[in-house]
Amino acid sequence: MSLPDFEFVRPRTLDEAVGTLVRFGADAQMVAGGTDLYPSMKQGLFAPRVLVDIKALRGLDELRFDPDGGIVIGALDRISGLAASRALAEHFPVLAEAARGIASPLLRNMGTVGGNLCLDTRCLYYNQSEFWREALGGCLKKQGELCHVAPGGRFCWAVYSGDLAPALMVLSARVTLAGPRGERTIPLDEFYVNDGIVRLAKGHEEIVTRVTVPAASSGWRGTYKKHRIRRSIDYPLAGVAAAMRVDGSGRCLEARLAVTAANPAPRLVAAAEALRGRTFDAQLVEEIAHEAIRTAKPLHTSASTPEYRRQIIRVFVRRALRELWL
């Protein structure tokens, strides 16, 4: 499989990048590390006439920690930088652990935070060669009219399969976007749309510039649990991020849970709020694990069966809460 032909543009400023995306409209696509986009182009999933490489944009690669202000992570920061950051490991362990488990060392060196947050959704019937897909007549997301995951439905179930978003969501991160109408910042969980085709609450010309985690989330206990086929180099097929603040007597002051790689969007588990003010309670842990599965609803979108992924999410929630709480 080789890359299709394209024109390559490398803007130096944010304004220039946004302007280029506006000028070429649907013919243009942004690329950062290219670790997700280039393989997808080889599979014929995207064929942009113009590739807008944003790697030369200045000021988008800061990783700034300030105990009073939280952490600012640039969209062009490499995943390897997050994985190696001492400040992150100390103050935001859930994020450091999620970063360390992404792909492989080479891909972490190339892959960026912005690219990770904006990953295309994945599905067993979509991430295949053109030849393979054509044999099935395509699917709702690409060149077809039928969903092979839920035949008869008009909804695309392709799954967001990134590791950083759930970890950032349990830390109440916010994402900043630059576009033709200026800059805007929204909570990260509002950035995702639970629809495999729409995916993101972002305009085509909007560029993610940074993510900020508030100081209030610093120092929380945290862990990230991930299921994947190849442990050395693979997208998650189910993931659970957990963060908790616990007082000296073991009482949970606040807790947040998020699931990834099960739905078109990474999702916070609302039931985790019930943990506030409680000391360890195995029955409550089981109830929260059950609610996490209800939030996750995995379908047949990957090589791992929905039944297995439901069970693994239950086990991950159980393990994560025990680890953080006891």
The C-alpha R_g of the chain, in whole angstroms, comes to 20
Kindly state the smallest distance separating residue 67's Cβ from ligand FAD, in Å. 27
The span of 6-14, 61-69, 100-108, 268-276 binding ligand FAD (CB under 6 A) equals 100-108
Kindly state the smallest distance separating residue 103's Cβ from ligand FAD, in Å. 3
25 binds ligand FAD per the rule CB under 6 A: no
Kindly state the smallest distance separating residue 209's Cβ from ligand FAD, in Å. 7
The span of 65-73, 133-141, 231-239, 295-303 binding ligand FAD (CB under 6 A) equals 231-239
77 binds ligand FAD per the rule CB under 6 A: no
Q: How many residues bind ligand FAD (CB under 6 A)?
A: 33
To the nearest 10°, the Cα dihedral for 311, 258, 103, 117?
140
309 φ/ψ angles, rounded to the nearest 5 degrees: -65, -35
Which of 74, 115, 166, 266 is the binder for ligand FAD (CB under 6 A)?
115
Q: Which 118-177 residues touch ligand FAD, going by CB under 6 A? A: 118-120, 162-163
Which of 235, 264, 272, 292 is the binder for ligand FAD (CB under 6 A)?
235
Kindly state the smallest distance separating residue 35's Cβ from ligand FAD, in Å. 3
**Half-sphere exposure (CA, 13 Å, Cβ side) for 321?**
31
16 or 281: CB nearest ligand FAD: 16
97 binds ligand FAD per the rule CB under 6 A: no
Q: Are 257 and 170 in contact (CB under 8 A)?
A: yes
| Cα 201 off chain centre by | 14
Which of 75, 158, 271, 317 is the binder for ligand FAD (CB under 6 A)?
75
Q: CA-CA distance, 110 to 76, in Å (whole number)?
A: 10
Which of 149, 207, 237, 268 is the binder for ligand FAD (CB under 6 A)?
207
Which of 17, 21, 28, 31 is the binder for ligand FAD (CB under 6 A)?
31
Q: At what angle do helices 282-296 and 306-325 cross, to 10 degrees?
A: 140
Which of 18, 21, 24, 36 is the binder for ligand FAD (CB under 6 A)?
36
Binding mask 274-313 for ligand FAD (x = CB under 6 A): ----------------------------------------
The set of residues, in sequence order, having a beta carbon less than 8 Å from that of 310 and lying 6+ positions away, is 293, 296, 298
Residue closest to ligand FAD, measured at CB = 115
Contact residues toward ligand FAD (CB under 6 A) are 29-37, 39, 54, 75, 79, 102-103, 107, 110-112, 114-116, 118-120, 162-163, 207-208, 233-236
